[in-house]
Structure 1
C-alpha cells in the first residue's frame, strides 16, 4: 500500500472515530501525532481535499477557517448538514424532502444549491427543551 494511501486512511479514520464532530486540519494532525501516526499539516490538508472530492468528508467553512467532518453517507448521495446553534453538534441528513427543495429552487428560482456545502441551523433534540434565547449560541 503506498505511503500516501496510509496517510489518507489515517486522516479518514481520525474523522470516522468522531462522526458528530467537525475538526480543523490542525486538530486532525495533532490527534494523529498523539496516536503515534505523525502526518504533516500540509499532507493533512492534501488528504482532506482528496477526501472531500470523493464525498467522504464535508468541508465546513467558518469565519475563522475550515472544519472537516466525516460523511456517514459515504458520498453516495448528497446530504445536508444540520448544526445545533446551542451545542454546535453537526448531524448529516439524507432526506428526500430536501432534494425536492433543491429541485424547486433550481426550477422556480433558477438557483442551484450545493447540498454538500449547505448547513441548516437550529436546535438539536437535546438542546430543544433548554432555555436558550434565540441567537445566543
Structure 2
C-alpha cells in the first residue's frame, strides 16, 4: 500500500514540476509508514536519518513545507507548542478530528465528519460558506481514566 501511495505522490510531484528525490522519498515513506502518528519535523528527521544518514534537519523542514504547500501533508496544532504533520487524504472534504488525552498526551483520530448537519445550519443561518474546520476534544483516554 505504501508503494502505491509513493507512486501516486511521485506523479503528483511531477505534475507540479518537482522531482521525488531520494530524500523526499525517504521522508514520504516515513510519513506514510507512520500514518496516524502526527509526527513533528524533528521526529520525522530522527526516523529518516536511520535509513538516510546524510539527510539534514533543514532538508526535512523544507520538504515538509513543500509537501504542505502542495496539499500532500497537513500541519496540525495539537496545542503542545509543536507543529505536527500527517498525510492529507484527498478524498476528505475536511480534516478529521482529534481526541487528545490530558493524561498521557495520546492523540486519537476521529474518522468521518460528524458535523455535516451543524455546518448546513451555520451556512444557511449566517450566509457563510464553510471551507474547512478543525475540532479537538480534550479528556482522558481509556488507559488514563
Pair in the same fold by TM > 0.5: yes
For 2:109, the equivalent position in structure 1 comes to 91
CA distance in 2, matches of 1:37, 1:103: 50
State the SS of the aligned residue for 2:58.
Answer: helix
CA RMSD of aligned residues (A): 3.1
Equivalent position of 2:125 in the other structure: 108
Q: What count of residue pairs does the alignment treat as equivalent?
A: 124
User: TM-score scaled to structure 1, two decimals?
Assistant: 0.67
Partner SS for 2:118: helix
TM-score of the superposition, structure 2-length normalised? 0.64
With over 3 angstroms needed to count, the CA separation of the structure-2 counterparts of 1:112 and 1:33, relative to structure 1, is: same
Other-structure match for 2:91: 76
Tell me how far apart the structure 2 counterparts of residues 10 and 92 of structure 1 sit (CA, whole Å).
28
Structure 2 partner of 1:135: none
Q: Which protein, 1 or 2, shows the higher relative CO under an 8 Å CA cutoff with sep ≥ 6? A: 1
Could you list the runs of 5+ residues in structure 2 that have no partner in the other structure?
A: 1-9
CA distance in 2, matches of 1:92, 1:48: 24
**1:122 CA displacement:** 4.5
Does 2:7 match 1:19?
no
Structure 1 unaligned blocks of 5 or more: 133-137
Deviation at 1:63, TM superposition (A): 4.2
